[in-house]
Amino acid sequence: MTVEIFVGKRIIDAVEELKKEGYSEIDAIKMIHDSYEVDSMDGISIVTHFASIVLIASLFINSPVLDAFKIPLGTLYSIFLVGYVVLHTFYRNGLKDISNFSMIGLSLGVSFATIVLIGFLLNFTLGITPFTVILSVVSITEIFNIINNIMWWKRNEL
């Protein structure tokens, strides 16, 4: 049974149609439920955009308010958000069956690997300074985050 059969119908009508085909009511409801997939944009994507803005602003604006946010957001950003965004960009469909604890562990591992690669590249090109590190990590993460958001918008036809 494909999703197109149920498009434009009320759920009760689709259940009744499946019952006429010989399915039980429970099986019909499960089929309808399994055929639809609700895909919502992650709140983590918005947190990543906010953290990126704060970290970039902290490079150019010397403010006690930004300094208060810089360390916790920078820590969260570098330890978790980088890997989360990279994983969701490349493996969006494959991550649905993974538990939250596994997702946190994968995000940590990918974050560490990504940060190490960025540091390795910076060491042999521009040099490692706070400015280049923050700018390059935020740039790479935002590129993946924007790609992830565009893919979400295209999937949901916004």
pTM of the model: 0.69
Burial 15-31 (b: 16+ CB within 10 A, else e): beebeeeebeeeebeeb
- pLDDT, tens only, 100-149: 888 889 999 999 999 999 999 999 998 889 889 989 999 999 999 999 88
CA-CA distance, 16 to 12, in Å (whole number)? Answer: 6
Number of domains in the chain: 2
- What are the angstrom distances between the C-alpha of 119 and each of 105, 140, 145, 154? 21, 12, 20, 33
Same domain, residue pair 19 and 51: no
**Do 69 and 124 fall into the same domain?**
yes
Same domain, 60 and 124: yes
Q: Dump pLDDT digits (tens) for 22-72.
A: 888 888 887 777 776 555 557 888 888 888 988 898 888 888 887 887 888
Enclosing domain of residue 11:
3-35
Which residue carries 């089929």 as its tokens? 31
The verdict on 15 and 64 lying in the same domain is: no
